[in-house]
Amino acid sequence: AGHPENFELPGVEVTTGPLGQGVAMAVGVAIAERHLNAVYGDDLVDHRTFVIAGDGDLMEGVNHEAVGLAGNLKLGRLIVLWDDNSITIDGSTDLSRNEDVVARHQAAQWHTCECDGLDADDVDSAIREALADPRPSLIRCRTIIGFGAPNKQGTAATHGAALGKDEVEAARAELGLEPVEFTVPDDVLTAWRAAGKRGAVEHALWNDRLESSGRKADFLHRLNGKVHDGWLRPYIDKLLTDLKPVATRKASEMALEAINAAIPATIGGSADLTGSNNTKTKNIAPLTAEDYAGRYIYYGIREFGMAAAMNGMALHGGVIPYGGTFLVFTDYARPAIRLSALQNARVIYVMTHDSIGLGEDGPTHQPIEHLQSLRAMPQLEVYRPADAVETAECWALALCSSGPSILALTRQNLRPVRTARSDENLSARGAYRLKAAENPRKVIILATGSEVEIALDAAEKLEAQGIGTDVVSMPCTERFDAQDPEYREDILPDVSNRDILRVSIEAGTTFGWERYTGLHGLRIGIDRFGVSAPAPDAYDHFGLTPDKVAVRVTDFMRKRGFQ
* Residues that are catalytic: 303
Q: Which of 239, 58, 244, 262 is nearest to 141 (CA)?
A: 58
- What value, to the nearest 5°, has the Cα angle with vertex 440 and ends 435 and 443? 60
Q: Is 418 exposed, middle or buried (0-12, 13-18, 19+ CB in 10 A)?
A: buried
Q: Is 496 exposed, middle or buried (0-12, 13-18, 19+ CB in 10 A)?
A: exposed
User: CA 248 to CA 351: how far, in whole Å?
Assistant: 11
DSSP-derived 3-state class of residue 310: helix
User: CA 16 to CA 198: how far, in whole Å?
Assistant: 28
- What value, to the nearest 5°, has the Cα angle with vertex 160 and ends 154 and 166? 70
CB of 416 closer than 8 Å to CB of 497: no
DSSP-derived 3-state class of residue 401: coil
Secondary structure (DSSP) of 186-201 = HHHHHHHHHHHHHHHH
Q: What are φ and ψ of residue 265, in 5° steps?
A: -80, -15
Output DSSP code: residue 285.
Answer: P
User: CA 373 to CA 350: how far, in whole Å?
Assistant: 16
**What count of other Cβ atoms lies within 10 Å of the Cβ of residue 62?**
28
